[in-house]
């Protein structure tokens, strides 16, 4: 296994600029205007393994990607600089995929993933960054009802796959995480004129480092997402209704009674541009259902407005203001659960890049700057001010677990501030390097809860991404 990993890594490093990644978008790390990036002989040579005819109208493709990230975390576990809490590790993730297609009628896709973390301190429990060679995606897709441009307007997709909806506020591939995120789903997409309707049902994949990932999970999900297309001036509007349930879990409610979880989420979002240089992104969600025997009434809202300065044919500067708020539990004894469930949202993209804050019981005021300051390069700077929605509820870290809590509310609402800086250079569409520093400054809550330590936590990283 170790030899196979080494061969794969050498292959990806030897041929970094080969064709486009097949499995999912690189999110914030890609340089979107691909025509600004240089073509190379190797990127053109990648066509040798893309859409190769094998007879009878069938084609075959190979692809792969590697993400290697060296990171150093300091005080992130206990926020105490006096204790030994300085971790350096290398997170390594490699993927290989194969695809068979017959036009737009049939597609079969298989992708395997091997993810490890080297030199990490030994800690209790399993390492969330480890999953030995396993199936990350494996699905078949059938396309029917071709439209006037020979694209199918009805798609059936069955198997293990990523699920990205909207701007990843509720469902995402969590690409920053070393393991990513996929689901075992049945999915139907219908594209009538002016709309994109996506219905799905299945389970999230529970990744198991030492065994094959199971094809079933106690968590069940289902939903319908409707996106309106063709709105004038490039605006996007979509709505989602989603269900998440687990009958096997014994969730202890506020009144001490254990039962399962049944949760319904209704959300809507819109984004677009106005007045030429302005843009906006709005997202709101409401949740109801039951946790144990507690009734659920929770909500979340997100708003961002940006302005882009054009400074030449490739230089741009975008500044944005962002405000978001998600509900927390006002009274831990009233039998009403008000803490918002983020479902499967992107943990890195919106709030804390050091993964200290989740969209639960959170008020986040942020300023963001993105600049293309050299050809092929970009710089991103974020500054966040975090407060609790209710002081009686917890401050939750990105994975949804409570990080600090003062049940009497005496810690106040001030949770902290965070400064994030990252720079990315894309040599071409298949090779990029990134580096940055993230700094979290704990607020008054940390001094009055938990271990009562409130020293700054920092993270430094350097990452290389390749694909073919």
Q: What is the pLDDT of residues 263-279, one digit of tens each?
A: 999 999 999 999 989 99
What is the pLDDT averaged over residues 355-362? 96
Which of the residue ranges 195-204, 210-219, 419-428 would you say has the lowest mean pLDDT?
Answer: 210-219
66 vs 315, higher pLDDT = 66
Question: Which pLDDT does position 404 carry in this prediction?
Answer: 93
Question: Which pLDDT does position 45 carry in this prediction?
Answer: 65
- With a cut of 80, say whether residue 85 has pLDDT above it: no
Q: Which domains can be identified in the chain, with CATH numbers?
A: 2-467 (2.40.160.100)
- With a cut of 80, say whether residue 39 has pLDDT above it: no
- With a cut of 70, say whether residue 311 has pLDDT above it: yes
Q: Which of 147-156, 321-330, 421-430 has the highest mean pLDDT?
A: 321-330
Q: Which of 43, 47, 139 is nearest to 100 (CA)?
A: 139
Instruction: Tell me the pLDDT band of 234, cut-offs 50, 70 and 90.
Output: confident
Q: Which of 249, 340, 259 is nearest to 294 (CA)?
A: 259
What is the pLDDT averaged over residues 144-159? 85
Question: Which pLDDT does position 329 carry in this prediction?
Answer: 94
Question: Which pLDDT does position 318 carry in this prediction?
Answer: 96
What is the pLDDT averaged over residues 380-395? 96
Question: Which pLDDT does position 186 carry in this prediction?
Answer: 97
- With a cut of 50, say whether residue 28 has pLDDT above it: no
Question: Which pLDDT does position 193 carry in this prediction?
Answer: 86
Question: Which pLDDT does position 253 carry in this prediction?
Answer: 78
């Amino acid at each position: 296994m170790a030899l196979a990993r080494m061969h794969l890594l050498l292959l990806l490093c030897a041929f970094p600029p080969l064709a486009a990644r097949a499995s999912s978008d690189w999110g914030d790390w890609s340089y979107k205007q691909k025509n600004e990036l240089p073509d190379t002989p190797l990127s053109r040579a990648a066509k040798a393994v893309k859409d190769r005819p094998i007879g009878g109208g069938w084609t075959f493709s190979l692809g792969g990607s590697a993400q290697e990230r060296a990171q150093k975390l300091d005080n992130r576990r206990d926020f105490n600089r006096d204790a030994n809490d300085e971790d350096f590790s290398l997170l390594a993730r490699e993927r290989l995929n194969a695809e068979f297609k017959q036009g737009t009628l049939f597609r079969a896709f298989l992708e395997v993933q091997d993810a490890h973390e080297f030199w990490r301190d030994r800690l209790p429990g399993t390492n969330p960054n480890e999953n030995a060679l396993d199936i990350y995606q494996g699905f078949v897709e059938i396309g029917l009802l071709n439209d006037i441009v020979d694209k199918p307007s009805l798609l059936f997709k069955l198997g293990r796959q990523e699920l990205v909806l909207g701007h990843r506020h509720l469902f995402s591939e969590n690409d920053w995480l070393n393991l990513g995120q996929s689901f075992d789903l049945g999915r139907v997409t219908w594209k009538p004129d002016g709309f994109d309707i996506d219905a799905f049902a299945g389970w999230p994949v529970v990744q198991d480092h030492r065994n094959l990932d199971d094809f079933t999970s106690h968590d069940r999900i289902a939903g319908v997402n409707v996106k309106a297309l063709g709105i004038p001036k490039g605006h996007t509007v979509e709505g989602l209704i989603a269900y998440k349930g687990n009958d096997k879990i014994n969730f202890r409610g506020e009144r001490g009674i254990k039962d399962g979880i049944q949760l319904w989420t209704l959300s809507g979002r819109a984004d677009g541009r106005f007045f030429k240089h302005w843009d906006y992104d709005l997202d709101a969600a409401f949740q109801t259902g039951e946790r144990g025997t507690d009734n659920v009434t929770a909500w979340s809202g997100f708003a961002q407005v940006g302005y882009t300065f054009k400074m030449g044919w490739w230089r741009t500067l975008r500044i944005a203001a962002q405000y978001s708020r998600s509900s927390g539990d006002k009274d831990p004894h009233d039998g009403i659960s008000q803490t918002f469930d983020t479902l499967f949202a992107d943990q890195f993209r919106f709030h804390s890049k050091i993964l200290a804050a989740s969209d639960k019981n959170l008020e986040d005021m942020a300023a963001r700057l993105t600049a293309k300051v050299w050809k092929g390069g970009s710089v991103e700077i974020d500054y966040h001010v975090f407060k609790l929605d209710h002081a009686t509820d917890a401050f939750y870290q990105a994975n949804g677990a409570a990080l600090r809590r003062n049940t009497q509310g005496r810690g106040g609402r001030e949770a902290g501030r965070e400064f994030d800086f990252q720079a990315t250079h894309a040599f071409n569409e298949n090779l990029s390097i990134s580096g940055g520093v993230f700094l979290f400054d704990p607020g008054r809550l940390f001094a009055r809860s938990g271990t009562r330590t409130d020293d700054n936590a920092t993270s430094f990283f350097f990452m290389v991404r390749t694909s073919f």
